[in-house]
Amino acid sequence: MGHINFLLEHYGYFGIIIALLGGIIGLPIPDEVLLTYVGYNVFQEKMAYLPSLFSAFIGAFGGISLSYFFGIKLGLPFLQRFGPKFHITNVRINKTKALFAKFGPTLLFIGYFIPGVRHVTAYLAGINSYSFKKFAIYAYSGAIVWCFTFITLGKLLGEKWRFFAFYLMKNRILIIPAVMLLLIFGLVYWKKRKRTVNTKGAFE
């Protein structure tokens, strides 16, 4: 947490961009904890909500795009050789390759919420010669949902964000998919509610 606090205190919104650029490429930065902490700073009114979201989007877009272009230019041998130095192990690469074969570009969207996967999906998209347009549609929309989810959580949790961050670090493999499921259920409920309101309005 010390380096995250240092980045935000000394570089503000630019610190969010730097941290996410490095974290998504593969540096050992706890991205979800960072985003939740940013939300807590919004709660404390040390940062503003919309600029924080915008900075997170830029950092996530930049990190995922760099990974994509590395995949295009350097290919799988580079990832297999140098990935372990950035905590991207061959086990993680092979696991993500299997998921990528099963889910295709959808993994670019949902991969942010799967521990250890978001660091590899963009490389694989580049290695598999996805067009930039196809890559951007899935990867950037996933980044928006991911950043919005955890910054908003930190803002809503307020002082309790530390408890969430502690359990997140200990149980990421369970908590992050659970957060994603809650988000999906929330969106489905909102759409159904909106459809019901529109239907009632049509008959009035």
For 139-187, the pLDDT digits (tens) are 999 999 889 988 998 898 888 877 766 666 665 555 555 555 565 565 5
Residue 192 has pLDDT above 90, yes or no: no
pTM exceeding 0.95: no
Q: Which amino acid is at 80?
A: Q
- Report, as an integer, the average pLDDT of 132-140: 90
The token pair at 191 is: 């759409």
The secondary element (H helix, E strand) that includes residue 85 is none
Output the pLDDT for position 103: 78
Work out the average pLDDT over 13-35: 81
Q: What percent of the chain shows pLDDT beyond 90?
A: 18
Domain ranges of the chain: 2-171
Helices (H), the chain: 2-11, 13-25, 31-43, 49-82, 90-103, 106-110, 118-127, 132-157, 161-170, 172-203
What pLDDT score was predicted for residue 176?
55
Distant-in-sequence contacts of 52-55, Cβ < 8 A, 24+ apart: 52/13, 52/16, 52/151, 53/147, 53/148, 53/151, 54/13, 55/13, 55/14, 55/16, 55/17
Task: Decide which of 111 and 87 is more confident.
Answer: 111
